[in-house]
């Protein structure tokens, strides 16, 4: 076996219960001939020492070694029982490390799952490294991953539950955008599950599958006020405090600003926003938090509004958005209440239809918005962070068609505790950092 002794070759292989008989590189791949170290075996039926009956070679791919794919040629022993009274005749040895008729060793399958799931690598890239097909890797991801994802302990200990929607498939010419609802542990910053559709029924049935003890532990639910989620929560989570968090309120306000901008563009220019249009050029600045604008950004914003917003409606909506944001920046419930009243007075005064609609939604959800103050630690950060991770998985997956694949990949990336390669705990790190790191969700 080339330059290696059997012992060092076996040490390099590091597969418990196996030793290397020969090693060579063929076509850029390691070809390792291996056998088990078990030479004395008792009959599975009677326990009498078995006799070697022959060998059969099975080929299976293992983890790459020094950048090369590895093929193991396992010289499997066939055993025979010589005890006349025993019903067992012959059998083939079995090892947990290599499943029957497997294309990959168990550890290679687990690694494939870890790379696709935890690291969000593309299935095709992992398949190439292992020297197998796409379907083999995807099967390994499904087999190993499903076990991790369906582990009932995975959902334990949720005190603050966040509900959020995310698009699963973008609209095409023939089909509308398909949405899913994500359920997030807002304290642990992990994705608990995704359910198809963004309806009350979808949330209802997910909650219906939880135990009374699990439901009792949930003290706070943060949600998007646009959705009919709240009514789904009443029966199983009637004890929990419902809040509209910062993230969802600001998203709502931003949507209103966007609507006014589009309507104004249409009214003043007679067409939808195009690149050189003044309001179109400041569309992102309009949605940026005022205190985050640079000096240059503020100048551009003002100039864009001066040219593109003769009626002042976009500016009025922008001001409304900032007033609603101020509610969340206020210190204490009394101050928040006062800021909220300023928002109402502004919205009622300027009479911009989109802003009036926003104010109506805010009024309907006032209790839940102000309840935000009673829940310290209920932050929008984790929802935002998980949304970023979801986007990353979608990008790598090049648009999923299959919901259960999509759910599996998302949960493996941001809903599972990976035991191997544990990094330092992220609790206490800033949310911005957490949002950028794929490990933030473990
Ligand atoms: Zn026997």
Q: What is the pLDDT of residues 128-138, one digit of tens each?
A: 989 899 999 99
**Mean of pLDDT values over 138-167:** 88
- Cα 134 to middle of ligand 1, angstroms: 42
- Taking the centre of ligand 1 as the mean of its atom positions, its distance from the CA of residue 82, in whole angstroms, is 7
Query: What's the CA gap between 101 and 98, in Å, rounded?
Result: 8
Report whether pLDDT(338) > 90.
yes
Q: Which pTM value belongs to this model?
A: 0.75
Region 145-172: mean pLDDT is 84
pLDDT confidence tier of residue 283, bands split at 50, 70 and 90: very high
**69 alpha carbon to ligand 1 midpoint, in Å?**
40
pLDDT of residue 436: 36
Residue 304 CA to residue 35 CA, distance in Å, equals 74
Could you tell me how far CA 371 lies from the centroid of its own chain?
A: 28
Tell how far the Cα of 93 is from the centroid of ligand 1, in angstroms. Answer: 14
**CA pair distance 23, 18, nearest whole angstrom:** 14
Of 86-90, 276-280, 305-309, 391-395, least confident by mean pLDDT is 391-395
Exposure string for 183-216, b = 16+ CB within 10 A, e = fewer? bbbbbbbbbbbbbeebbbebbbebbeebeeebbe
- Split at pLDDT 50, 70, 90, the class of 398 is low
- Distance of CA 16 from the midpoint of ligand 1 (Å): 26
38 C-alpha to center of ligand 1: Å?
Answer: 17
Position 357 pLDDT exceeds 90: yes
State the pLDDT confidence band at 420, using cuts at 50, 70 and 90. Answer: low
Residue 3 pLDDT grade (very low, low, confident, very high; cuts 50, 70, 90): very low
Residue 379's pLDDT band (boundaries 50, 70, 90)?
low
| Ligand 1 center–CA 51 separation, angstroms | 10
Separation of CA 37 and ligand 1 centre (Å): 21
Structure tokens at 27: 């076509």
Token code pair at residue 6: 């059997």
Question: Ligand 1 mean position to 6 CA, how many Å?
Answer: 32
Q: How far is the CA of 40 from the centre of ligand 1 (A)?
A: 14
Report the Cα 179 to chain-centroid distance in Å.
Answer: 15
Task: Check residue 286 and give its pLDDT.
Answer: 95
pLDDT top residue among 77 and 11: 77
DSSP 3-state of 192: strand
pLDDT category at 58 given cuts 50, 70, 90 is: very high
- CB-based contacts of 269, cutoff 8 Å, min separation 6: 277
What is the CA(33)–ligand 1 centre distance, in A? 29
CA–CA separation, 66 vs 298, rounded Å?
Answer: 54
> 78 C-alpha to center of ligand 1: Å?
14
- C-alpha of residue 55 to centroid of ligand 1, in Å: 19
Mean pLDDT, the chain, rounded, equals: 85
- Whether the per-residue pLDDT at 119 is higher than 60: the answer is yes
- What Å distances lie between residue 415 and 146, 163, 208, 330, CA to CA? 12, 15, 20, 33
DSSP string, 76-131: EEEEE---TT-S--EEE--BTTB-TT-SB-HHHHHHHHHHHHTS---HHHHHHHHT
pLDDT of residue 442: 30
Task: Give residue 43 CA to ligand 1 midpoint distance, Å.
Answer: 5
**C-alpha–C-alpha distance, residues 290 and 307, integer Å:** 20
Cα–ligand 1 centroid distance for 42 (angstroms): 8
Rounded to the nearest whole angstrom, what is the distance from the C-alpha of residue 164 to the centroid of ligand 1?
Answer: 61
CA of 143 to the centre of ligand 1 (A): 34
77 Cα to the center of ligand 1, angstroms:
16
Task: Dig out the tokens for 150 from the structure.
Answer: 């369906």
Average pLDDT over residues 273-295: 92
Res 356 pLDDT > 50: yes
pLDDT at residue 202 greater than cutoff 90? no
Residue 77 to residue 116: CA distance in whole angstroms: 34
Q: What is the pLDDT of residue 67?
A: 84
Placement of tokens 């935002």 in the chain: 384
- Please check the confidence at residue 423 and state whether its pLDDT lies above 60: no
pLDDT of residue 227: 64
Q: What's CA 27's distance to the chain center, in Å?
A: 38
Burial of residue 143 (number of CB atoms within 10 Å: 0-12, 13-18, 19+): middle
| CB neighbour burial string for 367-397, b if at least 16 within 10 angstroms, e if fewer | ebbbbbbebeebbbbbbbbbbbbbeebbebb
Instruction: Give per-residue pLDDT as tens, 166-194.
Output: 767 676 777 777 778 888 888 888 899 98
210 pLDDT band, cuts 50/70/90, is very high
Q: How far, in Å, is the centroid of ligand 1 from the Cα of 41?
A: 11
Q: In angstroms, rounded to a whole number, what is the distance separating the alpha carbons of residues 442 and 432?
A: 16
Give 80 Cα–ligand 1 centroid separation in angstroms: 8
**d(CA 427, ligand 1 centre) in Å:** 57
- Is the pLDDT score of 433 beyond 50? no
C-alpha span between 223 and 218 (Å, rounded): 14
Q: 252, 230, 249, 246: which is closest to 373 by C-alpha?
A: 246
For residue 416, is pLDDT > 90?
no
- Of residues 419 and 429, the one with the higher pLDDT is 419
Query: Which of 128, 14, 5, 121 shows the shortest CA–CA distance to 67?
Result: 128
């Amino acid at each position: 076996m080339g330059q290696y002794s059997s012992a060092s070759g076996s040490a390099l292989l590091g597969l418990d219960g196996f030793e290397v008989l020969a090693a060579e590189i063929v076509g850029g791949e390691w070809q390792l001939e291996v056998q088990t170290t078990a030479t004395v075996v008792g009959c599975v039926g009677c326990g009498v020492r078995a006799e070697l009956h022959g060998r059969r070679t099975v080929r299976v791919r293992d983890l790459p070694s020094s950048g090369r794919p590895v093929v193991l040629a396992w010289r499997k022993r066939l055993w025979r029982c010589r005890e006349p009274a025993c019903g067992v005749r012959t059998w083939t040895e079995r090892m947990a490390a290599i499943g029957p008729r497997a294309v990959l060793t168990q550890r290679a399958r687990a690694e494939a799952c870890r790379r696709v799931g935890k690291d969000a690598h593309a299935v095709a890239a992992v398949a190439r490294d292992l020297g197998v097909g796409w379907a083999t890797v995807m099967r390994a991801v499904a087999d190993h991953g499903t076990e991790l994802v369906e582990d009932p302990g995975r959902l334990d200990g949720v005190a603050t539950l966040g509900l959020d929607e995310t698009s699963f498939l973008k609209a095409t010419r023939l089909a509308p955008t398909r949405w899913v609802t994500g359920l997030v542990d807002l304290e642990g910053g992990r994705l608990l599950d995704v359910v198809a559709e963004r309806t009350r029924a979808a949330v209802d049935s997910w909650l219906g599958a939880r135990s009374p003890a699990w439901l009792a532990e949930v003290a706070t639910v943060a949600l998007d006020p646009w959705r009919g989620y709240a009514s789904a929560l009443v029966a199983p989570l009637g004890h929990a405090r419902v809040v509209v968090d910062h993230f969802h309120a600001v998203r709502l306000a931003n949507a209103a600003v966007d609507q006014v901008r589009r309507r104004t563009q249409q009214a003043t220019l007679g067409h939808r926003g195009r690149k050189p249009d003044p309001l179109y050029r400041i569309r992102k600045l309009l949605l940026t938090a005022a205190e985050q604008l640079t000096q240059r950004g503020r100048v551009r914003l003002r100039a864009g509004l001066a040219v593109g917003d003769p009626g002042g409606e976009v500016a009025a909506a922008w001001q409304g958005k900032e007033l609603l944001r101020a509610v969340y920046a206020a210190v204490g419930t009394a101050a928040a209440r006062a800021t909220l009243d300023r928002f109402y007075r502004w919205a009622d005064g300027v009479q911009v239809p989109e802003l009036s609609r926003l104010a109506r939604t805010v009024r309907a959800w006032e209790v839940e918005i102000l309840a935000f103050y009673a829940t310290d630690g209920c932050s929008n950060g984790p929802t935002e962070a998980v949304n970023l991770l979801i986007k990353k998985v979608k990008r790598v997956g090049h648009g999923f068609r299959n919901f259960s694949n999509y759910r599996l990949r998302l949960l493996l990336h941001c809903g599972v505790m990976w035991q191997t390669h544990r990094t330092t705990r992220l609790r206490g790190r800033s949310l911005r950092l957490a949002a950028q790191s794929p490990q933030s969700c473990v």
